[in-house]
Chain A
């Protein structure tokens, strides 16, 4: 160990030579347009409205078939997310509303506790700190909304992440 303890501990001092360091303000981006807030327990996601299909109410609870896929009596596939954004094997009882995600080619009904359409809103998206992210993290920013932050996400990123995550035991 070459450095003295004094030098080692002081080595983490912010560089002062070029003047006092500035304190970082969170990087923000303006978001304008139509969005949909989707909530699954404590998980709150904000998607562009164009990427969320028409909402419907669950009249009967979808049940998993012999492949593990949730389906209603008519055979339509459904999916329900945990608060960690992984697929749940069962649809929780408080999920009562569903919508398809993406360009409409996938009929899967994604089940939520709450679905709120936000028309012509101006929002500030705050970038997530780099320390939280991995190459697989499907969200990169959040907006502050009444009730807490909602993570900004695209439908394709959400579906990719969830499909790669597998079913939570």
Chain B
């Protein structure tokens, strides 16, 4: 197991180096002069020049890269060209809402998606299965930002149960916190669970076709026992992999969700930085989110190998 973990961690390093290369190149693949774009339409030549020196864009590219790598490894992620705040500061300020939403939304997605997928496979070709499949098909097709808009319109504008915008920290007011995160978490939960339903159902269907399930039924076990004592145990293993997909869904979902519900989190920061073409922020956030994504997938792989020894070979 230790050997496997080391192997996987080592395999993640070239991926991260590549991620860094892509992230670094972003500024340089911009058509025209990056400093010019960032300075905006109303900047004079002096402003552009100043910004260029500030960002080190006038140095040779190799030197810039080395600078960038050493700074990043030290944890200095650069600062916004608009507010002048460092990325670390900005992310720290905005981490609370984003963590609340991803944890809440992720839990909800798992709680809806996995049981629904298991039941759909267990009762395959029944009404329950059809409902689960329609739910999954709709969840994959309906864009999150539009579904969020509908939720907001129904529960915040019409029934006035939840606030239309904003986020309340759990440390300030628990009731207000719950009301401010319910709709965003519901949105992340619904959109996240759609693919979970599909993948869980598919992997459970495979388990139900296995010989040991037939044996269990043949020796006279009830359906309930077949499901809980045999099928679920074997089926739980492949389901772990869907958590990786869920992580990708949450990372992108949070950008859209925080925009729809006007929540000042990291996702909103991504959207704003991209709109303003605030390159240092875009770069650091891309690097940060991609690293989180790589780390989650690494953990999923290791967890998988832990429960299924065959993978380690």
- Whether both chains belong to one complex is answered with no
